[in-house]
Amino acid sequence: MSARFTRGSLVARALAILVTMTSSATSAAPVPKGLPPKVVVGFGFRGEEKDADPFRKLLADSEGFTVELIALEAVTQADLKKYGLIIFGADAKTEEWAGIATAIDRAGKPVLALGEGGYDFLGRPGLKLDIGAPQGWHGEETGVIPVGAAESRLWIAAGIRTDKPVSLYKRSGHVGIIPAKTAAGVVLLGREEADAEHYPIIGQGDRVLWGFTGGPADMTDAGRKVFVATCRYTAKLTRPAAKEEK
């Protein structure tokens, strides 16, 4: 009887150890591939914080980004290295771009520049880019035709796989870039519907222009999805496509 009790105890102990090991392995399982890591976004604005807050809310609610609003005059003193993405709002026009551009280059972080303010920033001489002022024209376009939607990481992330026009805004001003033929590293992402040479969404290196001045309240449902996808694309959080953009 004692021997049977001993064998039973050993079996019970073995089962308990097995359950514990299985539980530990399950709790230590890695996060599935493809889920976007948490990213802290720095959003530079010039006007009032309440005008920038809708962008913070959009990114926090739809993507889980942590967004910190940074007054433009404080950018050069901010710890930019903690951000996975830096966004400059459409109102972010300033005479202090030279110092800000130097700080951004030093931090080495990707930048998404919005509307007129972003266009102004990307045109700063020190950045040596071809997707900012004065390489564009201005109007009131509210949508784009996706470029290479079937293969583009941006459009795949937005769930759009068509080259048909996509309405992004109910109303907005815009700037469209006509890139120089000699420009290196330019990625065409979204072009104007009525003009095949101007691009409101365009990238170069780790800088991307979202050339619309409207805020989230003026975006369509598709516009909000494409904007968030553009943030992910700029921050390099999108999955590689079968074939990269050319």
* 243 within domain boundaries: no
What percent of the chain has a predicted confidence (pLDDT) above 90? 62
| Alpha-helical runs (H) found in the chain | 2-27, 49-63, 97-107, 115-122, 153-158, 221-234
Determine the pLDDT at residue 245.
46
Task: Answer whether residue 89 is part of any domain.
Answer: yes
Lowest-confidence pick of 148-162, 191-205, 231-245: 231-245
Does residue 121 belong to any structural domain of this protein? Answer: yes
Q: Which tokens sit at 81? A: 């290295």
- The CA distance from 21 to 96, in Å, is 59
**For position 85, what pLDDT does the model report?**
96
pLDDT, one tens digit per residue, over 51-85 is 899 999 999 988 778 999 999 999 999 999 999 99
For residue range 69-128, list pLDDT tens digits in order: 999 999 999 999 999 999 999 988 777 788 888 898 889 999 999 999 999 999 988 788
pLDDT of 231 higher than 90:
yes
Tell whether 34 is covered by a domain.
Answer: no
Greatest mean pLDDT range, 14-18, 20-24, 203-207: 203-207
Q: Which residues pair with 199 in a beta bridge?
A: 177
Q: Is residue 136 pLDDT above 80, yes or no?
A: yes
Long-range contacts of residues 70-78, Cβ cutoff 8 Å, at least 24 apart: 70/42, 70/43, 70/44, 70/45, 71/44, 71/45, 71/46, 72/44, 72/45, 72/46, 72/96, 72/100, 75/44, 75/100, 75/103, 75/104, 76/100, 76/102, 76/103, 78/42, 78/103
211, amino acid identity:
G
Residue 48 in any domain: the answer is yes
Overall domain count for the chain: 1
The reported pLDDT for the residue numbered 125 is 81
Residue 185 lies in domain: 40-234
Task: Give the distance, in angstroms, between the CA of residue 199 and the centroid of all CA atoms in the same chain.
Answer: 18
Task: Give 175-209 pLDDT, tens digit per residue.
Answer: 999 988 778 899 999 999 999 999 999 999 999 99
Strand partners, 86: 42, 111
Say if 90 falls within a structural domain.
yes
Residue 56 placed within a domain: yes
**What CATH number is given to the structural domain containing 122?**
3.40.50.880
* Global confidence as pTM: 0.81
pLDDT score of 66? 92
